[in-house]
Amino acid sequence: MAREFDPYSLSSPRAYLTFMIIFLVIVAFIAFILFPQISTAFMSNPGLNGLIVLVGVFGVLLLFGRVIRLFPEISWVNSFRIGDPGLDTRSPVLLAPMAALLGNKSGDMALTPTTARSILDSIGMRLEESREMSRYLTGLLVFLGLLGTFWGLLQTVSSVGATIQSLDVGSGDANVIFEDLKAGLEAPLSGMGTAFSSSLFGLTGSLVLGFLDLQAGQAQNRFYNELEDWLSTVTDIDPEESLFNAPDSPGVEQIQASISALQKSVEEGGSKNANQAMANLAEGIQGLVKHVRSEQQMMRDWAEAQGEQQKRIEGLLSSIAAAFDRAKE
């Protein structure tokens, strides 16, 4: 029996995790083919290159953890959304503020726009904080590669200077001078190996972490967008709240000014001023009524437009279904 499609069910990030695993398999396969060259480059400076490899491995594990931690969060949201939080008894970590704010509410609940926005802002900040470490590690790999480059170049320059100073041109024996030159060039070449090997490992590690960070970021963005879509379906916009809390509503500002003038007139005891304030208050109420009516007319126009669009969509779907039926015949 086919499972009923739920447009607001949060999808699993398994596809992004699969892409990350496939990418690592490809990288491991290339490293296996080039293992002799990689081993030689690694031994040029095993200390710094080993540090770069350790940082890269830590970054890979961290990025996989960013994706894997979404699985229990998605499971909890889907269980909470259908009104059966008992399906997943584990408390969420990333969605802890949301769980504390909603409590035991489930099923047909309604959130205010302020509550929904605070939930999304809190989750967005936590997702952004989790990305900072991976970005730092990517930059750290590039920095370590550059550090090895400058270290190797420094060794090369100092070794070349020492080699030139050690040459005894006055001996007159070309064979001796050539042998001394060959022996002296070993240190500069070793320094160049250190420079290029560190750059190789650092840039390769940053490339790997960059792709994995891209996949993890897409998985988190998809989770955030789907959560936002679901929260928008359970957000109840209070017309009175949206009307009276609107700072740019002309009717509200006029009523507030009229009430303040009426209160001031009553305190001063002036009958004439009180009558004038009452007239201003009535005028403000009339302006507010006009504003409400215009808002209602806009809502009716929007509803009619949505109805017409729905009819056009239904007609298009009927045409597509008829075309499929004719194609099957």
Task: Convert the pLDDT of each residue in 103-151 to its tens digit.
Answer: 666 555 667 777 778 888 888 888 888 888 989 999 999 999 888 888 7
Residues 24-53, mean pLDDT to the nearest whole number: 90
The tokens of 197 are what? 């090997």
Q: pLDDT by residue (tens digit) across 145-185?
A: 888 888 777 767 666 665 655 655 555 556 655 565 565 55
Domain check: are 217 and 245 in the same one?
A: no
Q: Tell whether the model's pLDDT for residue 317 goes beyond 60.
A: yes
Domain check: are 182 and 48 in the same one?
A: yes
Contact 53, 255 (CB under 8 A): no
Q: Tell whether the model's pLDDT for residue 72 goes beyond 70.
A: yes
What confidence category does residue 94 fall into, taking pLDDT thresholds of 50, 70 and 90? confident
- The contacts of residue 217 (CB under 8 Å, 6+ apart) are 131
Domain boundary at 237, 260, 288, which?
237
- Phi, psi torsion values for 91, nearest 5 degrees: -75, 140
User: Is there a domain that residue 174 lies in?
Assistant: yes
Q: What is the pLDDT of residue 68?
A: 92
Contact 147, 198 (CB under 8 A): yes
- The contacts of residue 24 (CB under 8 Å, 6+ apart) are 60, 208, 212
- Domain range holding 321? 240-328
Q: What letter represents residue 64's amino acid?
A: F
Domain check: are 229 and 263 in the same one?
A: no
pTM: 0.63
Q: Tell whether the model's pLDDT for residue 100 goes beyond 50.
A: yes
Number of compact structural domains in the chain? 2
Domain check: are 207 and 253 in the same one?
A: no
What confidence category does residue 301 fall into, taking pLDDT thresholds of 50, 70 and 90? confident
* Average pLDDT for the chain: 75
Domain check: are 204 and 257 in the same one?
A: no
The tokens of 47 are what? 């200390």
User: Is there a domain that residue 5 lies in?
Assistant: no
Tell me the DSSP string of 22-67: HHHHHHHHHHHHTHHHHHHHHTTSHHHHHHHHHHHHHHHHHHHHHH
What confidence category does residue 16 fall into, taking pLDDT thresholds of 50, 70 and 90? very high
Domain check: are 258 and 296 in the same one?
A: yes
User: Is there a domain that residue 266 lies in?
Assistant: yes
The SS3 of residue 247 is coil
Domain boundary at 186, 214, 237, which?
237
Q: Name which residue leads in pLDDT, 207 or 181.
A: 207
Q: How far is CA 67 from CA 11, 87, 127, 250, 290, in A?
A: 13, 21, 11, 49, 52
- Phi, psi torsion values for 235, nearest 5 degrees: -90, 125
Q: What is the pLDDT of residue 162?
A: 59
- Phi, psi torsion values for 95, nearest 5 degrees: -100, 25
Which of 71-85, 200-214, 273-287 has the highest average model confidence (pLDDT)? 200-214
Domain check: are 93 and 224 in the same one?
A: yes
Q: What letter represents residue 124's amino acid?
A: G
Q: Which of 64-73, 161-170, 198-207, 243-252 has the lowest mean pLDDT?
A: 243-252
